[in-house]
Structure 1
Amino acid sequence: MKSTRLLFRIHYLSSPTTKYFYQLNSIQSRCLLHTSLSLMSKDMTKMNLIEEHPHVKTMSKAIIQHKQSDDYMMNHEIYSEKELNDIKITHKKFESWHDRVAYGAVRTLQIQHSHKTMTEQQWLRRFIFLESIAGVPGMVGGMSRHMKSLRTMRRDYGWIHMLLSEAENERMHLLTFLELRQPGWFFRGMVLFGQGVFFNAFFLTYLLSPRICHRFVGFLEEEAVITYTRCIEDLDAGKLPAWLTLPAPKIAKNYWKLSENAMMRDILLAVRADEATHREVNHKLADVGPDAPNPFLIQAKQAGDPSALQEH
């Protein structure tokens, strides 16, 4: 009986109340549309605006069209041709026991570089597995520092955004290579298992010693630079003929702002440059320690870079 009365009252709400609920629903739909707008194609956007969201017909066309497909992405490096070709293989010398522990962990993972000739599919298999793991540290570090900032009610001074941006960058590497190869169920199972073990191990270690974790990532990225450098050398030597004429996927062109005639080699150069950037960043973060402000943010502000992050 009570439920029947409740339904009766809802059905016969006064006109102002009904209007309020309609406006509330309209606001929620408009907010959802706004946050999803850059993810949709132009055709899908127009269709949704007309068919599913009639209340936004009055929105200015400029608001709808000014969003580009990559507006929702975090900030990341766009490299010049000189920067892409100047990447060198480096190795940081040990300066403390943290460095030795971190390097020992990298060697324990047995990240070795085979000197035998690998095919395109073998390289892709290696890239996909490595990138599915490489996207973990930045997310774990950013999440840990975010939670610490909440617990201690103190500012983070620029680390969180940079670490999350690193995680997204590694994920974009993975999504790019997945355009060229879709792994089977067994490979996906191995990725799931490896990610589960690595995530939890890295998270626990980060709680104990962020310095060791960032040094570990720095050494890991050193190995990544070696991997991509050798792949580029094989490509230039003609050992990967299928990639000599393989155009870059559209997702890569959009993300790294590559030219329309970009090829697979351009992707490898861009990914290697990203790994070299992560290498230097994480070694620097390990040097300054977890309690110091973001050193790269400070450098950008001192240089008068208007795009420097305003982290609170």
Structure 2
Amino acid sequence: MSAGPARMASTTAAAPVIGGSLHVAPPASDKEKEKEKEREKAAAASYWGVAPTRVFKEDGTQWQWLCFRPWDTYAADVSIDLTRHHEPATFGDKAARLAVKAMRWPADAFFQRRYGCRAMMLETVAAVPGMVAGAVLHLRSLRRFEHSGGWIRALLEEAENERMHLMTFMEVASPRWYERALVVAVQAVFLHAYLAAYLASPATAHRVVGYLEEEAVHSYTEFLRDIDAGCIENVPAPAIAVDYWRLPPGATLRDVVEVVRADEAHHRDVNHYASDIYHQRHALREVAAPIGYH
């Protein structure tokens, strides 16, 4: 059985070639070797006793993240339209919009302008729909022996992207004990509520996420305004964010918030589009039914 994709195998060379010449890393000191052994031991213990494959960057340094790999990184498209809004048309759209507005009010009252903590709470919720919807479509694909049209992968990648937002903001703000407790409670409620909504009406469920992402874009815009106004210190970007979004050296918190906002705008468009597809399929069935097409 193959050990993995070719691109994975190509990153494990012990001596990377840089600039056409063989680059050999300087010998590590005993202290560095001991630290490396401790890291490997901890990583192996955390993943069923299997040590992770070593991956190296182009400059020959070892990749330090296990939650994502170099081929998962990308440069966000910050030129995306941030003002796009879907005007509610159907009863389901209006219900979705009302539900999101109802969820926004307590978040505003609780977090106020503590945008670092607000971002962490937002991402613990935003990472749920993609995983739920992807799992539902995955099981449906198995039951019906049919392809998903790429939607399973798209939704799971959305969930993973939202989780990486959370991993990033954990480096910026530390949640208090009661905020962690709130996350557990909110996630438990939202998980079951969204699963029920998705089984009842995927169109409405995707519309809810679309409106949630619209609110996320607004929140991150306010975050940027506070950074620009000096209300929030524009600290250096966390190392995990620099590698994940391929940010330039010297990137700051403002750069991180900007690329996260672009991600949210992309998720907004994807989920509104998914909801539109379900509406169109339902309309086609209604047209086809009287003339005998199924």
Q: Give 1:160's aligned residue.
A: 152
Q: Distance in 2 between matches of 1:156 and 1:276?
A: 24
Decide which of 248, 264, 267 is 1:259's aligned counterpart: 248
SS in 2 for 1:94: coil
CA deviations 1:144-185 (Å, max 9, x no partner) are 111111122211111000000000111111110101222232
Q: Is the 8 A contact 1:166 1:278 kept in 2?
A: yes
- Which sits farther off after the overlay, 282-291 or 187-196? 282-291
Q: Give 2:199's aligned residue.
A: 207
CA deviations 1:263-308 (Å, max 9, x no partner) are 000001000000000011100111112897xxxxxxxxxxxxxxxx
Q: Is the 8 A contact 2:131 2:159 kept in 1?
A: yes
- Residue 89 (1) aligns with residue 83 (2): yes
Deviation at 1:107, TM superposition (A): 1.8
Deviation at 1:213, TM superposition (A): 0.6
Q: Is the 8 A contact 1:74 1:168 kept in 2?
A: no
Q: Which is higher, the Rg of structure 1 or of structure 2?
A: 1
Q: Provide closer, same or farther for how the CA distance between residues 84 and 111 of structure 1 changes in structure 2, counting only shifts above 3 A.
A: farther
Q: Provide closer, same or farther for how the CA distance between residues 151 and 163 of structure 1 changes in structure 2, counting only shifts above 3 A.
A: same
Q: Within 5 Å, give how 1:96-245 maps onto structure 2.
A: 96-111=90-105, 122-240=114-232, 242-243=233-234
Decide which of 248, 257, 270 is 1:268's aligned counterpart: 257
- Residue 278 (1) aligns with residue 275 (2): no
Unmatched segments (≥5 aa) in structure 1:
1-26, 53-62, 293-312
Higher helix share: 1
Q: Distance in 1 between matches of 2:192 and 2:108?
A: 28
Q: Provide closer, same or farther for how the CA distance between residues 261 and 87 of structure 1 changes in structure 2, counting only shifts above 3 A.
A: farther
Task: State the percentage of identical aligned residues.
Answer: 38
SS in 2 for 1:110: helix
Q: Distance in 1 between matches of 2:82 and 2:190?
A: 28
CA deviations 1:227-266 (Å, max 9, x no partner) are 00111112112222x22xx100000001000012100000
Q: Which runs of 4+ in 1 moved over 6 A?
A: none
- Which sits farther off after the overlay, 171-180 or 283-292? 283-292
- Which sits farther off after the overlay, 98-107 or 213-222? 98-107
Q: Give 2:75's aligned residue.
A: 78
TM-score of the aligned structures, taking structure 2 as reference length: 0.70
SS in 2 for 1:180: coil
Deviation at 1:90, TM superposition (A): 2.8
Q: Distance in 2 between matches of 1:186 and 1:113?
A: 14
Q: Distance in 1 between matches of 2:93 and 2:177?
A: 37
Residue 269 of structure 1 aligns with an amino acid whose one-letter code is E
- Across the aligned residues of Structure 1 and Structure 2, the Cα RMSD in angstroms comes to 3.5
Q: Distance in 1 between matches of 2:164 and 2:39?
A: 28
Q: Provide closer, same or farther for how the CA distance between residues 261 and 212 of structure 1 changes in structure 2, counting only shifts above 3 A.
A: same
Residue 154 of structure 1 aligns with an amino acid whose one-letter code is E
Q: Is the 8 A contact 1:74 1:165 kept in 2?
A: no
Q: Distance in 1 between matches of 2:192 and 2:119?
A: 22
Residue 100 of structure 1 aligns with an amino acid whose one-letter code is K
Unmatched segments (≥5 aa) in structure 2:
13-32, 45-52, 58-62, 282-294
Q: Distance in 2 between matches of 1:217 and 1:77?
A: 23
